[in-house]
Amino acid sequence: MASHDSYTGRLPGLFASPDTSSFTEFLGAYSPELLPGGRTPPASRAGDDIPHGTTIVTVGFPGGVVMAGDRRATAGNVIAQRDIEKVFRADEFSAIAIAGTAGIGIEMVRLFQVELEHYEKREGRTLSVEGKANRLATMVRQNLGMAMQGLAVVPLFAGYDEERNEGRIFSYDPAGGRYEERDFHSIGSGSVFARGALKKLYRADLSAEDAALVCVQSLYDAADDDSATGGPDLTRRIFPVVASVTSDGYRRLGEDEVGALAQAVVDGRYDSPGGPTAPLR
């Protein structure tokens, strides 16, 4: 650290550099090598042998939002990790999850978490939900060069809006496009299957617990049809990560809670392997 404290003015670098409350901007001036966006993308396209995270789902309900992710990371045809975590607390009132190149995604999440907390501590207020979502868009866009070389990562962001008293969902494309989603959304390789399930299971008046159940059901459907998505592993007791964000803040559901949900979903599938059916008329 001392090497950065080149004595130019009255105070060393920590105190003197650009007057910004953005951690990323400060990092760019102070230790640019730590900034993900500053790296040169590899000259040739990366292969399949770097772990990828897969399916994330999120469901809104009155007063909040639930987000869940399966636990599998794949490298080509190999299961690279069976208990990876891809859903994180972003700050007290928001959650973030990633799909795509796991290493880059996890780094992005860490930087985003510090970014939000740094702003909050310096300014004495939290960013608006839109402000957080926009900041994340910039970070995704900075990864575009990597994305073009096959190292894409796409986050899903969900926050509790204190002014509107509701959950809000934002999805992204690898170029940094930011889209607000209504009701529910899914990303990752199993997302098409998960979305089909979400569409049939979503109701506007879900309770928080039912919203979590919808997430686990849709992840089961994703794992059913997508080889890169892991289903609930009852033998090893590895279950999806499920988190809710409400006016009480971010809460990750306990292992026993998710275990009970997963057990109920799996039990139900013995009778009807396709899961709950929607009324035809």
Partner 1 sequence: MPFYVSPEQQMKDKADYARKGIARGRSVVVLQYDDGILFVADNPSRALHKISEIYDRIAFAAVGKYNEFENLRLGGVRYADINGYQYDRRDVTARGLANVYAQSLGTIFTETAKPYEVELVVAEVGDDAETDQVYRLTFDGSVADEHGYVAMGGQAEAVAQSLKDGYREGAPLAEALRTAVRALEAQDSDRRLEATSLEVAVLDRNREHRLFKRLSAARIGDLLSAADGSAGSGGAADAAEGEGSKPEPKQKPESDED
Stretch that binds partner 1, among 10-18, 57-65, 187-195, 257-265 (CB under 8 A): 10-18
CA distance 226 to 194: 10
Q: Is 200 in the site for partner 1 (CB under 8 A)?
A: no
Among 39, 118, 200, 252, binds partner 1 (CB under 8 A): 118
At residue 250, the 3 state secondary structure works out as: strand
80 sits in which H/E element: strand 78-81
Shortest CB 276 distance to partner 1, Å? 35
Residues 18-57: x/- map of binding to partner 1 (CB under 8 A)? -----x--xx--xx--x-----------------------
Among 3, 15, 44, 274, binds partner 1 (CB under 8 A): 15
Q: Which amino acid is at 183?
A: D
Stretch that binds partner 1, among 48-56, 112-120, 183-191, 223-231 (CB under 8 A): 112-120
Residues paired with residue 160 on neighbouring β-strands, in sequence order: 167
Residues 6+ apart with CB under 8 A from 159: 65, 90, 93, 94, 95, 129, 132, 133, 167, 168, 170, 245
CA-to-CA separations, 250 to 17, 66, 94, 160, 220, in angstroms, rounded: 33, 10, 6, 9, 24
Among residues 24, 54, 74, 126, the one annotated as catalytic is 54
Shortest CB 6 distance to partner 1, Å? 13
Helix boundaries (H) for the chain? 13-16, 23-30, 102-123, 129-141, 144-148, 191-201, 208-225, 255-271
Q: Is 122 in the site for partner 1 (CB under 8 A)?
A: yes
Shortest CB 118 distance to partner 1, Å? 5
Burial grade of 141 (CB within 10 A; 0-12, 13-18, 19 or more) = middle
Stretch that binds partner 1, among 5-13, 136-144, 193-201, 265-273 (CB under 8 A): 5-13
Instruction: Give the pair of three-digit tokens for residue 101.
Output: 């190149």
Termini Cα distance of the chain: 67
Q: Is 85 in the site for partner 1 (CB under 8 A)?
A: no
Q: Is 124 in the site for partner 1 (CB under 8 A)?
A: yes
Shortest CB 107 distance to partner 1, Å? 10
The footprint of partner 1 on this chain (CB under 8 A) covers a number of residues equal to 21
Catalytic site residue 54? yes
Shortest CB 121 distance to partner 1, Å? 5
Residues 6+ apart with CB under 8 A from 135: 22, 112, 115, 116, 127
Q: Is 11 in the site for partner 1 (CB under 8 A)?
A: yes
Binding site for partner 1 (CB under 8 A): 1, 7, 10-12, 14-15, 23, 26-27, 30-31, 34, 110-111, 114, 117-118, 121-122, 124
Active site residues: 54
